[in-house]
Amino acid sequence: MSPRQGKARRALLTGVLALTVSLVVPLTAGAAVPAQPPPPEFETSYSVAGADTPEQRTAIAARDIDILTAGPGRLEIRATRAEADALRAEGLTLTALPPAPGTTLAPVPNAPADFPAGYSGYTNYAELGTRLTALRNRNPAIVSLSNYGTSYQGRSLPLIKISDNVGTDENEPEVLFTCAQHAREHLTVEMCLRIAERLVANYGSSTAGQVNSREIWVMPMLNPDGAEYDIAAGTLRSWRKNRQPNAGTTAVGTDPNRNWGYGWGCCGGSSGSPGSDTYRGTSAFSAPETARVRDWVNGRVVGGRQQITAHIDWHTYSELILWPYGYTTADTATGLSSADAATFASLGRAMGQTNGYTPQQASDLYIADGGMSDWMWAAHRIWSYTFEMYPTSQTQGGFYPRDSVIARETARNDAAVDLFVSYADCPPRVTGRTC
């Protein structure tokens, strides 16, 4: 969720593997970036009791303490001993957690840039290109494959469109699914693949209505540089940000989900320190990865009207369904009326009934400014949600559940996706309103 990897990662001087997929849309990697700074003080993961309000959790995050997950009655962080002692001195109860699986594996000398044993079922960048191309080649009438730009290191950012008459820009509601803004959240790539492949596989039956009446877009890996860096040493680095250098420091990376233009840096929900995992960047959209999505979404304004009506941004972990705004704890704010808030809440609760996730406004966790869903709504009135996937605790795998859960935990969201797509023509219908 909202961590601070840059503060305590070991220096692993591993080059980024250049990947080339010979497709209509090549997914290519650029040159390696400078090494990480020397590791600071060792950090431990803790469960925290006593931080029960958004204000308390926001105050913890404001110290650049790594919030791993938060939800009703739970909070997990990663902190140094001094930080943990300071929180205990304030009356909070901290209990040490075992390390996340995979992160305890020793780096593998001369390792290929791939997942370690127990995680080989996850999809790396090269494999993603292969799967997307195969999906397009088998189903050219309803699937197109393109890209919407390149990452900082030069990797193509893949984009799938699924619709009948896929080569025509029809007057149909458009739905966007985005995954892997945060590098270590690899389960979300599998979620985007599940959405695309299931829509296509079932086109002759259960998904025909969706494909025929919607234009569905899937961006399965928004942060490929970070995702590849996370696995490049043959272990799991718990890396969150992109891999863009920061001038004047050896600290690398910007948090893409604090780099969006609405409420950027406004409200204590991001960090101005380049070493922080929630570093917001030098300015809104300073990260190439967020700027390219922004440009593409802006380009979907046709005839003065935004064609995208609904959007889900997939993350891990916590099993939550979140909606705007994240920059303020107020239920309503500029551009978000009580009727809008009721629609967000009603559809969020309906989706939560299908998968068991907890639905709530994003800021019920803690303040986070410069987030993607806030911008989608404020800039374009796109009904935008954030889904935090399995699990709910680091004791269940945290950011790195074993690959044995992929099929179960992605299929768990099938009904929520179907419901979401069904309301894309007019989400306020869920409250009895019209559009």
- At 103, is the pLDDT very low, low, confident or very high (cuts 50, 70, 90)? confident
Residue 112 scores a pLDDT above 80: no
CA 390 – CA 195 distance, rounded (Å)? 16
Is 388 annotated as catalytic?
yes
By the 8 A CB rule, do 26 and 244 touch? Answer: no
- At 3, is the pLDDT very low, low, confident or very high (cuts 50, 70, 90)? very low
pLDDT over 70 for what percent of the chain? 88
User: Using one digit for the tens of pLDDT, what is the confidence trace for 145-198?
Assistant: 999 999 999 999 999 999 999 999 999 999 999 999 999 999 999 999 999 999
User: Using one digit for the tens of pLDDT, what is the confidence trace for 22-45?
Assistant: 333 444 444 444 444 444 556 888
Global pTM reads: 0.88
Q: Residue range 123-132: average pLDDT?
A: 98
Q: What is the pLDDT of residue 272?
A: 97
Q: What is the pLDDT of residue 14?
A: 36
Catalytic residue among 76, 185, 215, 388: 388
User: Using one digit for the tens of pLDDT, what is the confidence trace for 214-247?
Assistant: 999 999 999 999 999 999 988 899 999 999 999 9
pLDDT over 90 for what percent of the chain? 78
Residue 21 scores a pLDDT above 80: no
- At 80, is the pLDDT very low, low, confident or very high (cuts 50, 70, 90)? confident
Q: Residue range 377-387: average pLDDT?
A: 99
CATH assignment, 5-34+107-431: 3.40.630.10
Cα-flanking dihedrals φ and ψ of residue 63, to 5°? -85, 5
User: Using one digit for the tens of pLDDT, what is the confidence trace for 243-300?
Assistant: 999 999 999 999 999 999 999 999 999 999 999 999 999 999 999 999 999 999 999 9
Q: What is the pLDDT of residue 64?
A: 86
Q: Residue range 346-350: average pLDDT?
A: 99
Q: What is the pLDDT of residue 42?
A: 67
Higher pLDDT, 431 or 114: 431
